[in-house]
Structure 1
Amino acid sequence: MFFYRFVGWMMKKIVFAGALLALAGCVQVDSYSEVVKAPAPAGLEGYWQSAGPQSEMMSPDAIASLIVTKEGNTLDCRQWQRVIVLPGKLMKRDDAVYNVTSALDVYPIEREGDTLSYDRMTLKRVDRLTPECEQAWKKASADKSGQ
């Protein structure tokens, strides 16, 4: 009898510990306007672009770009058959940096030298954007200053 009671108690502890571990790495944002924008950490400001085919993209020809400003504004630009852009802002939680898009997507950002891990992709630092993303960035910047 004692054995069964002990096993039941242990099972509850294991289930609770598993649930706690599953929730430990989650970052949830309910309101974009309530996200506190953080300035870009040293070395993160600039243009980042996918280097070669990425398994997370729809096609080997697709290109992902991320623009990060010193103030912490971001623009996630993805292009293949069309250009899809999402403005965002950097958010810091503990020692981690995240990009929170206006669509409430939250992506951790990890930088190692001139390589960025972002949304399960590898991005490299570049000097220039693609013409399509540069045009989208100019439009987004103009829209923001016009508000």
Structure 2
Amino acid sequence: MLPFISITLFLIFALLLTGCNKHESKSTQTTSATFSTNEAKVDFIQRYVTFRREYTKLEFNIDYLDNSTGLVPGPSDWDIRIIATVPEHSLSAWHIDLTSTPDIDTSWMSSVPNTLTEPSSFTWYADDSKIIGIDVDNSRVAYRNHSR
């Protein structure tokens, strides 16, 4: 009788533990071309970035694999690419604490829809996972944050 009770309690505990993870997955492979308004683009991207910014024009390509929703959660993987026109006064907030870097691979910019961008017009900043380009003359930002 004791093994039956132990197995029953284990199954109840396992079901309760599984039911505790009701987190909706954030996994996505989405570009800004999916959305018809800038407001909809901003609402969507705020699910994937921790900062809040103003955007005059926003384009992006997000590849996000949410590994926190399984029975055994793990770290998520992401590659967030943004090219945006922003208010001029907000440009400096994008590259705080990043080091100026002249040698940057900018091939990722072509994956962001609706952008005809010349990488040489940007001043580049970077750390281990972020690349930020600032185009002061056109008030544009190129942003990439990736975990891979």
Higher share in strand: 1
TM-score past 0.5 threshold: no
TM-score (norm. length: structure 2): 0.30
TM-score (normalised: structure 1)? 0.31
Q: In proportion to residue count, which structure has more helix? A: 2
